[in-house]
Amino acid sequence: MKGTITTTDTPVAPGHDEQHSLSVYVANKPGVLARIAQVFARRGFNIESLVVSAAMDGRFSRMTIGATGDPTMLDQIIMQVSKLIDVLDCADHTYDQSVSKELALVKFKVNSDDRGEAIQIGEHFGVKTVDLTESSMIFMVTGDTGKVDAMLGMLSKFEIVEQVRTGKVVMTRGSEVT
């Protein structure tokens, strides 16, 4: 239902979202990202989001890839990505108990009459206002995909100028490395 508000950060439930979240641990070298993207592109798979940055050990990077497609093809993709020499580990974290968050920036038009309501919505979702002008605001929100979707839904009553999302970063719960 549009505008459903989730106040707690819950993991994505199976069946609710078809997108799969892959966490890939790779050598931090030029060309690695291109090689991995190529494995998807070749099979006609769309990468919808991708986050990558250096891991704690700077020789390696952690990549989180959001991709949607046929589940049996996805198994093959995971194995092909794992086969790459620069990939140390590739795992599908869509259905397990992991922490999954993303960040979004939303710029929308708002005047002094509506600003109060905008701020109320923002407070509910725990956003930070990172830009403020006479006629516009930029909100920064973090949380799971459901929460970000919900906030964007609530803000749609204003004229949204643009929005940008990072895509998910994922980490397994517990004391073991993802």
Partner 1 sequence: MKKSQMDGAQALVRCLEREGIEIIFGYSGGAALPIFDALETVDTKIKFVLVRHEQGAAHMADGYARATGKPAGVLVTSGPGAGNVITGLMTAQMDSIPMVVICGQQVTWMLGKDAFQEADIFGITMPLVKHSYLVKDTEEIPRVIKEAVHIATTGRPGPVLIDMPKNISQGDFYGELDQEMDLPGYHPKRCLEFNVEHVHDMAEALSRSRKPLILAGHGAMLAGARDEVMQLATTLNCPVTNTLLGKGIFPETHDLCLGMLGMHGTAYANKAVCEADLILNIGSRFDDRIIGQADKFGKDAVILHIDIDPSEIGKMVQPDIKCIGDAKVILTELNKHIAPLDTTEWLETLDGYRKKFPLGWKKQGGLKMQHVIHELFELTEGKAIVSTDVGQHQMWAAQFYKNDEPWKWLSSGGAGTMGFGLPAAIGAAFGCPDELVVSISGDGGFQMTFFELATAVIHKLPIKILVLNNHYLGMVRQWQELFFEDRLSGVDLEGNPDFVKLAESFGMKGFNIKRPADVTKVLTAALEYNDGPVLINAECVKTENVFPMIPAGAALEDMLTEPPKTKLAKPIGST
Interface residues toward partner 1, by CB under 8 A = 26-27, 30-31, 34-35, 38, 42, 59-60, 75-76, 79-80, 82-88
User: What minimum distance in Å lies between the beta carbon of 92 and partner 1?
Assistant: 15
User: What minimum distance in Å lies between the beta carbon of 53 and partner 1?
Assistant: 18
User: What minimum distance in Å lies between the beta carbon of 16 and partner 1?
Assistant: 27
- Which pair of tokens denotes residue 132? 């403020």
Q: Which is nearer to partner 1, 28 or 136 (CB)?
A: 28
Q: DSSP letters of the chain?
A: -TT----S--PPPTTT---EEEEEEEE--TTHHHHHHHHHHHTTPEEEEEEEEE-SSTTEEEEEEEEES-HHHHHHHHHHHHHSTTEEEEEE-SSSSEEEEEEEEEEEE--TTTHHHHHHHHHHTT-EEEEE-SSEEEEEEEE-HHHHHHHHHHHTTSEEEEEEE---EEEESSSS--
Q: Which is nearer to partner 1, 75 or 117 (CB)?
A: 75
Q: Which is nearer to partner 1, 3 or 31 (CB)?
A: 31
User: What minimum distance in Å lies between the beta carbon of 81 and partner 1?
Assistant: 9
Q: Which is nearer to partner 1, 42 or 173 (CB)?
A: 42
Burial, 174: exposed, middle or buried (Cβ in 10 Å; 0-12, 13-18, 19+)? Answer: exposed
User: What minimum distance in Å lies between the beta carbon of 99 and partner 1?
Assistant: 25
Q: Which is nearer to partner 1, 25 or 153 (CB)?
A: 25
